[in-house]
Amino acid sequence: MILEGKRLLITGVMTRQSIAYAVADQAQQQGAEVVLTSFGRARRMTERAAGGLPDTADVLELDVNKPEDFAALADELGSRWGALDGVLHAIAFAPEDAIGGGFLDTPPESAVQAFTTSAYSLKELAVSLAPLFDKAEGGSVVGLDFDASVAWPVYDWMGVAKAALESVARYLARDLGPRGVRVNLVSAGPIETAAAGGIPGFDQLAAGWQGRAPLGWDASDPSSVAGTVCYLMSDLARGVTGEIIHVDGGYHAMGAPLS
């Protein structure tokens, strides 16, 4: 089991369809201890999902727009485990006026909110947990991404936030590498999750993926994405940092739909 004895924090679990849920499930099967985060009204949904894992996971409070939550989370994990081996950042949000096709009309405060929640939070999370990684003599930070090298229909300022996320990950890899902390992203193909349901045009995007991905793509199956996250959390990836691994059936590498 590649994660035997690892202590992992998984954010972003809302339902059993979440990519983060699939990560937590596979991580436990690979021997890891797992704790989840959630906040507000979504916390009950996360707690219900946590009950479906092989071992029911505890859910701790984390609203990434509340600085005090980061300190409280680090204190709780320090009391619980003393150290931490890995964290999954699976957090993204953009206001309604920042996605959906109105890119040119989005007000600055909505663009800033998308950036702060979806990209800057990766830095805040990694820095707040860094002392726990120090006690583990290294660790792994993995974030969920959606290819930001191109413009997508209706993705708008969330796409800009993902581009920022990719840059934040590289700078974190630079600054945390000397402490033995690896920082990588997994750029996933479209997966049918509760969050995806809030993106206008998602169904059309997912439907077109199959015709361009040489390996094919099942938008209802997050297991391949979860497997790559677990690999990056493991010691097998001990020499990998600052990387963006595409798990999208090969879609990103094709210049046109397949015949």
The one-character DSSP state at 58 is P
Q: Active-site residue among 21, 155, 231, 251?
A: 155
67: left (phi over 0), alpha (psi -120 to 50) or beta: alpha
The verdict on whether 251 is a catalytic residue reads no
Strand partners, 89: 143
The verdict on whether 6 is a catalytic residue reads no
Identity of the residue numbered 40: G
Per-residue burial over 214-230, b if 16 or more Cβ lie within 10 Å, else e, is eeebbbeebebbbbbbb
- Cβ atoms 243, 184 nearer than 8 A: yes
Distances (CA, A) of 7 to 1, 35, 97, 130, 157: 14, 8, 38, 14, 34
Token representation of residue 175: 């600054």
Burial-class residue 258 by CB neighbours within 10 Å (0-12, 13-18, 19+).
Answer: exposed
> Phi and psi for 116 in degrees, rounded to 5?
-60, -45
Torsion of CA 20, 25, 30, 31, to 10 degrees: 100
Q: Active-site residue among 162, 171, 231, 251?
A: 162
Q: Which residues are catalytic?
A: 155, 162
